[in-house]
Amino acid sequence: MKLHIHRVELPLRYQFTIARGTMRVQNSLIVELEEDGVRGFGESTTHSYYNVTQESLTASMEKCRSTIEHGQFQNPAELWTALQPLLQDDMFALAAIDAAAYDLFGKTAERFTFDLLGLQWRRIPESSYTIGIDTISRMIEKLQERLDWTIFKIKLGTNEDVEIVRQLRQQTDATFRVDANCGWSVEETIENSRSLRELGVEFIEQPLPASASVHEHRKVFENSALPIIADESCLTEADVEKCHGLFHGINVKLSKCGGITPGHRMLLKARKLGMKTMLGCMVESSVGISAAAQLLPLLDYADIDGAELLAADIASGATVVNGSVILPGRFGNGVALHDPMEHACLAGQ
């Protein structure tokens, strides 16, 4: 098995702003695993909040090149187990390799990744579409451009959060979910939850900083008028148990937890604990989205619109059409690169 690493830049359709900052271009790495002419692809985006850069990702992946290229693995989980000690400080890199492994093994075995995981493609939740922070008028414009969608995730963390939702609610009866990205205090969360419930919001994602105390999280959990979903507080498998009793559900992101292999275990554990399950994404291409889509049968909520936020995609795979997730019919994760990305990979760039 050969490892190839490709750096890409993904221009965004619009400037994208959350409580922590703004971006216009998403830098990403595409991981390619090749064996006997079959190629599997995974993706890792960079992330300033977690100090993930293209350089740090490349360095991490190079550390495990020998293990990948000279080891013998019967399935992606075996590869993940071998690489985890080498990449325990870089879940983003581990997740990209893990996704590429599932894509490769699935294509080789002529099976879909969800099938490799023992899942069936049924009862699939629709994905939300994300409205980033902007002026209220611009946020309304973004929503109006996507009125065929039935679920919207609204990024908050401003001085006029409730008014934003109130103005957006006047445009549609669609389901609203809000994400404060750690931008609220305990008191703000409890107060906002009451107003947001009246505006038909379904739940609040990660209102408090991950560094908030157990007491603060529990106070919100017990007094919020809306369910609270953990994001930044639930990064890895060990966090699921910690979130039980402090959050009503968890949002798993493959890049943060280390890939499909641990993400699958996290979702199963959360369901066993009676928690709601959600899968999120980064602003990323269809390479990353197609990997995330394989876990949809385990979800209550989905937020995998990342490729919809791009000006242009570099691959095809799972598509999200007005919220409905459609698989391409190809095995593995179903990823196929577009020209000229395909030519760049074949040339070893």
**Residue numbering of the annotated binding site for Mg(2+):** 179, 205, 231
To the query of whether residue 276 is one of the catalytic residues in this protein, the response is no
> Are 19 and 182 a contacting pair, CB within 8 Å?
yes
C-alpha 185, offset from chain centre: 25
Q: Work out the angle between the directed axes of helices 91-109 and 76-83 (0-180°, nearest 10).
A: 160
C-alpha 25, offset from chain centre: 17
* 84 closest CA partner among 261, 233, 290, 282: 261
To the query of whether residue 155 is one of the catalytic residues in this protein, the response is yes
The phi and psi torsions of 16 (rounded to 5 degrees) equal -115, 120
Q: What is the DSSP string of 223-237?
A: H-SS-EEESTT--SH
What are the E-state strand segments in the chain? Answer: 2-18, 21-35, 38-45, 129-131, 151-155, 175-179, 201-205, 228-230, 249-252, 276-279, 301-302, 315-316, 319-321, 324-326, 336-337
> Are 11 and 25 a contacting pair, CB within 8 Å?
yes
CA dihedral (90, 25, 130, 340) in degrees, to 10, reads -90
Candidates 153, 253, 256, 276; catalytic one: 253
* 52 closest CA partner among 92, 83, 10, 99: 92
Binding residues: 179, 205, 231
Helix (H, G, I), strand (E, B) or coil at 21: strand
Written as six digits, the tokens of 323 are: 């919220």
> Are 254 and 292 a contacting pair, CB within 8 Å?
yes
Candidates 107, 155, 219, 256; catalytic one: 155
274-287 burial code (b ≥16 CB/10 A, e <16) = ebbbbbbbbbbbbb
Whole-number Å distance between alpha carbons of 46 and 119: 30
Instruction: Give catalytic residue positions.
Output: 155, 253
